[in-house]
Chains A and B, each alone.
Chain A
């Protein structure tokens, strides 16, 4: 008798345990199913709490993250598309000015009723226009290759001294024309993670700007300083300077500084330079006092020992 009762109770307990386990598992699966449904519907407004201290809440939280990653990828692609669109419209606009100049002066030259002095003048303007277009084309080709990723920069551990002196020799002639001396403070050569060819190109752009916007007969200073993670290369000129509210804009494509009107340029040099540094996990900062000085600081990663 007692045995029969024990058996019945045991069976009942087993049955109840199985029943409750089954219901619990079913409920959990239903909840997971709900979460997955939301993921499929890209709905971050999940039916379940993402802020409780239990397993299901953690799962919900992770589901929200997955949805976010997804939306982020989509918005990134959309952004890139917008960048390309605005780039094309910017570019066509920028090419228009020199092109229409060339067309106009060629027309005038073809008409023929002009003095010799005028002819010389028009020809030199045509030459200026073509030079500007040429320079823009060169920059555009480099830029598009970098942006599309057709050229992969290969930053390797190499001494920076040679890279800097390559850039200095490229701009030496332009500096000499304005009687500007480029002074480099003594520094020990350090190995930095960089692609020599492209980094030299970026530094050259910064130096060309320094020369362009500096007054004649002044100095340009180059210095180098090693910090814990990065090494900073600074180039200072004593020219027209850049107002603080423009610091964020000058690295934009086709942006010309307010002070830069009247100086030849297309607004591509700094953009290209900052692109090159970003591609190597480096960056550029600017500091300036209008009318006094401008310092561009370029940061490249130190090589890990």
Chain B
């Protein structure tokens, strides 16, 4: 059973004749432990896709199923809790809380769900991501690459069913991108994390197990690496 799947997923904006088909019938299945990259130019619909998958937006037609549950059938409150427990996000813009330290940022989603913190696991994540010396620093004292590594740690901390990364290296230079992506790949392998990454960068997509190319809201090519 796939961890995440979509069936005939569509998202249209506006009305005929000025209709914009951001997504036009997408069928994807991501198996447990897989690292899938979705590659497309800007405007291809890839970000819309990620928003649908994370339950941040509702589809016009079709289904998004995460962990056997259809997102559209949930109420807003259920969706919030579902996301907190099952989906990890890594965004281009890091989205760290500026007044919390690195460590506090990482454990925030665990505390929000009222769970006890598995210290050994968190320490392992922090260590693997090379953040040991920075754990008490505030985000504004970190470089872009370090901030994104904190965001990755935060996404991994709750052991989500799926980690969704939207242009995770969009704000980083080529070298830092390669460094951060390498560590993202390494941690996902180490912690058996299922992951989907959206990017326009063909080179970065090489690190994934499978690449899905989308254009104009449709899948045009799919290949296993």
Contact assessment for B31 and A75 in the assembled complex, using a CB-CB cutoff below 8 Å: yes
Contact assessment for B32 and A72 in the assembled complex, using a CB-CB cutoff below 8 Å: yes
Known contacts A53-B81, A248-B225, A251-B225, A287 near B179 by CB under 8 Å: no
* A218 contacts chain B at the CB level, 8 A cutoff: no
Tally of contacts, chain A with chain B, CB under 8 A: 96
What is the bound-complex CA distance between A26 and B195, given in angstroms? 40
Contact assessment for B225 and A252 in the assembled complex, using a CB-CB cutoff below 8 Å: yes
Chain B residues with CB below 8 A from A227, complex form: 175-176, 178-179
A20 to chain B, nearest CB (A): 25
Contact assessment for A248 and B175 in the assembled complex, using a CB-CB cutoff below 8 Å: no
* B85 contacts chain A at the CB level, 8 A cutoff: yes
Contact assessment for B81 and A51 in the assembled complex, using a CB-CB cutoff below 8 Å: yes
CB 8 Å contact bits of A67-102 with B (1 = contact, 0 = none)? 010011001100000000000000000000000000
* B186 contacts chain A at the CB level, 8 A cutoff: yes
Contact assessment for B81 and A299 in the assembled complex, using a CB-CB cutoff below 8 Å: no
| Interface set, chain A 33-58, CB cutoff 8 A to B | 44-45, 49-53, 57-58
Contact assessment for B192 and A72 in the assembled complex, using a CB-CB cutoff below 8 Å: yes
What is the bound-complex CA distance between A247 and B82, given in angstroms? 37
Contact assessment for B68 and A230 in the assembled complex, using a CB-CB cutoff below 8 Å: no
- B210 nearest in chain A by CB position: A248
Contact assessment for B225 and A44 in the assembled complex, using a CB-CB cutoff below 8 Å: no
Contact assessment for A230 and B179 in the assembled complex, using a CB-CB cutoff below 8 Å: yes
Chain A residues with CB below 8 A from B14, complex form: none
Contact assessment for A248 and B203 in the assembled complex, using a CB-CB cutoff below 8 Å: no
- B1 nearest in chain A by CB position: A71
- A281 nearest in chain B by CB position: B186
Contact of B68 among A45, A57, A61, A286 (CB under 8 A): A45
* A297 contacts chain B at the CB level, 8 A cutoff: yes
CB 8 Å contact bits of A209-249 with B (1 = contact, 0 = none)? 00000000000000001011110100000000000100111
Known contacts A50-B69, A228-B130, A229-B179, A285 near B206 by CB under 8 Å: yes
Contact assessment for A283 and B182 in the assembled complex, using a CB-CB cutoff below 8 Å: yes
* A65 contacts chain B at the CB level, 8 A cutoff: yes
Chain B residues with CB below 8 A from A61, complex form: 85-86
A interface, size bucket: 35 or more
A278 to chain B, nearest CB (A): 8
Chain A residues with CB below 8 A from B211, complex form: 248
Contact assessment for B85 and A50 in the assembled complex, using a CB-CB cutoff below 8 Å: yes
* B183 contacts chain A at the CB level, 8 A cutoff: yes
* A64 contacts chain B at the CB level, 8 A cutoff: yes
Chain B residues with CB below 8 A from A244, complex form: 202
CB 8 Å contact bits of A233-276 with B (1 = contact, 0 = none)? 00000000000100111011000000000000000000000000
Contact assessment for B159 and A65 in the assembled complex, using a CB-CB cutoff below 8 Å: yes
Contact assessment for B69 and A249 in the assembled complex, using a CB-CB cutoff below 8 Å: no
Known contacts A51-B81, A283-B185, A299 near B67 by CB under 8 Å: no
Chain B residues with CB below 8 A from A75, complex form: 31-33
* A113 contacts chain B at the CB level, 8 A cutoff: no
Known contacts A58-B115, A71-B32, A248 near B159 by CB under 8 Å: no
B164 to chain A, nearest CB (A): 17
Chain B residues with CB below 8 A from A65, complex form: 159, 161
What is the bound-complex CA distance between A299 and B202, given in angstroms? 18
Contact assessment for B175 and A225 in the assembled complex, using a CB-CB cutoff below 8 Å: yes
What is the bound-complex CA distance between A286 and B113, given in angstroms? 42
- B205 nearest in chain A by CB position: A248
> In the complex, which of the residues B33, B68, B161 has the most CB atoms of chain A within 10 Å of its own CB atom?
B68
List 8 A-B residue pairs with CB atoms under 8 Å apart, sorted by A's residue number. A45-B68, A50-B82, A51-B79, A52-B81, A65-B161, A229-B129, A230-B178, A299-B178
User: Knowing that A50-B85, A248-B206, A281-B186 are A-B contacts, what are 18 other residue pairs whose CB atoms are under 8 Å apart, sorted by A's residue number?
Assistant: A50-B67, A51-B81, A64-B67, A65-B161, A68-B32, A72-B192, A75-B31, A75-B33, A227-B176, A228-B130, A228-B145, A229-B129, A230-B178, A252-B225, A283-B186, A283-B207, A299-B182, A304-B132
Pairs of residues from A and B, 6 with the lowest C-beta to C-beta distance, nearest first: A248-B225, A72-B32, A227-B179, A51-B78, A51-B82, A44-B68
